[in-house]
Amino acid sequence: MQIALDAMGGDHAPGPIVAGALQAVAADPDLRVTLVGDQSQVTPHLPGGKPPERIDLFHCTQVVTMEETPVVALRKKPDNSISRCWQLLSEHKVDAIVSAGNTGAMVAGGFRLRLFLKNVRRPGIAAVMPTLRGSSVIIDVGANVSPKPEHLFQYGVMGSILAKHALQKPNPTIGLMNVGSEEAKGNDLAKETNALFNASHLRESFIGNIEGRDINKGTCDVIVTDGFVGNVILKVCEGVVDFMMKVVGKELGSALSAERDKGLKALQGLADRYDYSEHGGAPLLGIDGICIICHGSSGDRAIKNALSVAANYARLKLMNTSSRS
C-alpha cells in the first residue's frame, strides 16, 4: 500500500503533515508513504533529517497556496506538490493521494488529468456525517459549486457505493437536500434532480427531498446536494458543534460542583469525537484511484487518520481501475 501525501498542503505544513505520516506508518506495517514536497522544507521534520523505513520523498519545488485561484495556480506552477501527487496516481506509482492543501486545486488537478471513472461526468467530494442512526454520506461538499441535475444524480450513485462498502449499508437510501419534503419545493436544480431520481433505476432507493434537520436524524444513508450547499452544511455543522460545546461547557461549569471535572471530561470526549477537523478527510469520488481531501487546519492526528482512511478505501478497492474511461 503506497500513498502519496502532499507534504506542503495545509495551514501548518509541512510540520504536522510529516508528523502524521510518521505516525501512520508506525501504526500500519503495510503502509508506505511518499512525501511530496520541497526536500529542504520537509527533511528538517524527519527524525535525523532523513526518511525512515517505508517513507520516501518526492522532491518538487512549488506550492499552491490556500489563497490562489486553483486553475491559474496549477498552470503557473507546474512543479507544485498537488500536481505531482496526481501525476504519481496517474502513473500507478501510488494507490492513493492525500492532501490538506487548496481543495479547489486538488479537484482541478484531477479534472485536468481527466482521471475519472468511466461515465463519470464530474467528481464530487463526499463527507461522512454522524447521525443518531450511525453514519451517513453527504455528497458533494465542495468539488462542484454549479452542478447540473445529472451531476447530482451521479453523486447519488457514487455516494451509494461509498455507503455500501465503507459504511456497511447493504441497501443505502438516498435523499435530496431541499427546503421542504414536497416534490414541487426548491429551486430548478432541486426540482429537476428530484425528477431524474424518480425516473431512474435508483427510484426504489430514493426517499425524495429531505431538509436540513434530517441529516443528523439519519433519515437517509446518502444525502445528495450541490457543492455550494454541501460545503456550507459541513462548515455550519462544524460551527454549531463548536458553539454548543462552548455553551454547554460554560453551563456545566457553573451547574456542577463536585462532579464538574467528570462532566467536563465527558464533554471533551464528545468534542474530540465530533471534531470535524480531526476526521480522516473526505474522498473525492468518481476518480480512478483514491483521493482524500483534508481540512486545511489538519494537525498530525487528522493526517494520520486520513492516511488510514485512504489505505482502507484502497484495500476495499472502492474504485475499480479496470473500468477507466
What residues line the site for a second copy (CB under 8 A)?
Answer: 67, 69, 130-132, 142, 145-146, 177, 179, 182, 184, 186-188, 190, 211-217, 227-229, 231-248, 251-252, 254-259, 262-263, 265-267, 269-270, 274
Nearer to a second copy, 15 or 218 (CB): 218
User: Is 129 within 8 Å of 216 (Cβ atoms)?
Assistant: yes
DSSP letter at 2 equals E
What is the distance in angstroms between the CA of the first residue and the CA of the last residue of the chain? Answer: 24
Rounded to the nearest whole angstrom, what is the least distance from the CB of residue 288 to a second copy in the complex?
26
Q: What span, in angstroms and rounded, lies between the C-alpha atoms of 111 and 127?
A: 19
Nearer to a second copy, 21 or 229 (CB): 229
Between the CA of residue 156 and those of 10, 137, 150, 241, what are the distances in Å? 29, 10, 10, 27
Nearer to a second copy, 75 or 262 (CB): 262
User: Is 200 within 8 Å of 153 (Cβ atoms)?
Assistant: yes
Rounded to the nearest whole angstrom, what is the least distance from the CB of residue 307 to a second copy in the complex?
25
Q: What span, in angstroms and rounded, lies between the C-alpha atoms of 155 and 158?
A: 5
Nearer to a second copy, 35 or 215 (CB): 215
Nearer to a second copy, 201 or 213 (CB): 213
Rounded to the nearest whole angstrom, what is the least distance from the CB of residue 18 to a second copy in the complex?
26
Rounded to the nearest whole angstrom, what is the least distance from the CB of residue 106 to a second copy in the complex?
13
Rounded to the nearest whole angstrom, what is the least distance from the CB of residue 279 to a second copy in the complex?
14
Nearer to a second copy, 227 or 281 (CB): 227
Q: What span, in angstroms and rounded, lies between the C-alpha atoms of 302 and 308?
A: 10
Rounded to the nearest whole angstrom, what is the least distance from the CB of residue 242 to a second copy in the complex?
7
Q: Residue 140: is the preceding peptide bond cis (ω within 30°)?
A: yes
Nearer to a second copy, 40 or 257 (CB): 257
3-state secondary structure 222-289: EEECCHHHHHHHHHHHHHHHHHHHHHHHHHHHHHCCCCHHHHHHHHHHHHHHCCHHHCCCEEEECECC
Rounded to the nearest whole angstrom, what is the least distance from the CB of residue 215 to a second copy in the complex?
6
Alpha helices in the chain (DSSP H): 15-27, 39-42, 70-76, 81-90, 103-113, 149-166, 188-198, 227-255, 260-273, 300-315
Rounded to the nearest whole angstrom, what is the least distance from the CB of residue 145 to a second copy in the complex?
5
Nearer to a second copy, 138 or 314 (CB): 138
